[in-house]
Amino acid sequence: MFESLTLSISVFLIAAAVIAVVGTTMASTADRLADETGLGEALMGALFLGGSTSLAGIVTSVTAAAGGHAELAISSALGGIAAQTAFLSIADLAYGKANLTHAAASVPNLMQATLLVALLAIPLMAMSGPDVSVFGIHPASFLIPAAYIFGLRLAAEAQTTPMWWPRRTAETQVDEPKAEKSGGTRLTVLWLRFALLAALLAGAGYFVAEAGISISMHTGLSETVVGGLFTALSTALPELVTTIAAVRRGALTLAVSGVIGGNSFDVMLVAFSDFAYRQGSIYHALAQPQIFAIALTILMTGILVLGLLRRETHGIGNISFESFLILLLYLGGFSLLFFGG
């Protein structure tokens, strides 16, 4: 723990700034890799961009769990998922041509959002079910990664051989590679740049976790509040930056899949935290606020799926009704957690 509250807040803000600055170049690098490798924006966003921007959150949650701070670890993970979903509403505001849920509707995005709901149900069942563990690890912590990998495979198959697809309109943005596949030095440089940015995010995530624990101890705020709001928002900054950057580049599928895919990856933070937490199963060390956060996130994701299916072309103030409702739920839900904890 840092010696003073002032030092804790300073380290927290510096680490959060590093996360934000590093995230500014992630979208352009990922977009170029999606084109030049032929992976496509959906797979690149869900697997590489979503996973890489989640590195700060992984380090934050695992560090907190290893230190015995179960509520901080899980609240950071769950709060990050909710915050990143709300960021899509901000990206919707930034994209003025049409509602983002209309222009970015695609089979892979719908598959990934459905996968996210299924993954979130697993820790919810583990929290409310019997306290079963093997060497202090709950079976759900093995099930979550297996379900994630299986879901990614289904999403990849849906991209290559879709059984149905959204009707194309004048505002629909289709993921079409803008360049031929390339190799050699240029592709290697892009991957190295991407890896370096990911490493910087992970390092900043460690300091966010340590500073968050210290702030919680110095201020007396609950770990749920510190994790669900402060550390979650800080570690989610890369998603906000990369999502808006991708939208401005016109890479809408990359923007949406980066958030939804990152959210699915972030559910695995709960499993990773369970492996790091040595006082038993982390699921049964949690309380009502974490169950509330999971239920809130499932509700927000369900509304997002409805928006991708309904595909309202234009809403009030350049934002869809679903985006407005998601933002309202996020602000209202975490306001309740803040004032209640």
Domain boundaries, the chain: 5-163+179-340
Distance in Å from the first CA to the final CA of the chain: 22
pLDDT of residue 64: 84
C-beta of residue 276 within 8 angstroms of C-beta of residue 136: no
Count the helix, strand and coil residues of the chain and give each as a percent rounded to the nearest 5: 75, 0, 25
Residue 293 token pair: 């956060």
pLDDT of residue 42: 59
pLDDT of residue 302: 93
Picking from 43, 22, 50, the residue whose alpha carbon sits closest to that of residue 259 is: 50
pLDDT of residue 47: 63
Name 153's bridge partners. Answer: none
Picking from 172, 51, 185, the residue whose alpha carbon sits closest to that of residue 104 is: 172
Distance separating alpha carbons of residues 256 and 259, to the nearest angstrom: 5
pLDDT of residue 217: 74
CATH topology of domain 5-163+179-340: A middle domain of Talin 1 (1.20.1420)
Rounded to two decimals, what is the model's pTM? 0.77
pLDDT of residue 80: 81
Residue found by looking up tokens 């289709």 in the block: 174
Class of residue 202 by CB neighbours under 10 A (exposed 0-12, middle 13-18, buried 19+): middle
Distance separating alpha carbons of residues 74 and 131, to the nearest angstrom: 17
Distance separating alpha carbons of residues 74 and 56, to the nearest angstrom: 14
Distance separating alpha carbons of residues 216 and 173, to the nearest angstrom: 44
pLDDT of residue 50: 63
Distance separating alpha carbons of residues 256 and 295, to the nearest angstrom: 21
pLDDT of residue 150: 92
pLDDT of residue 118: 94
Q: pLDDT tens digits for the chain (341 residues)? A: 577 888 888 888 888 788 777 766 666 677 677 767 766 655 666 566 666 667 777 787 888 888 888 888 888 888 888 888 888 888 888 777 778 877 777 787 888 889 999 999 999 899 888 888 888 899 999 999 999 999 888 877 877 777 677 777 766 655 555 555 555 677 788 888 878 887 887 777 678 767 777 877 787 777 677 777 777 777 676 677 777 777 777 777 777 877 888 888 889 889 999 999 988 888 888 778 888 888 999 999 999 999 888 887 777 767 888 888 999 998 998 788 777 65
Residue 327 token pair: 């933002």
pLDDT of residue 41: 59
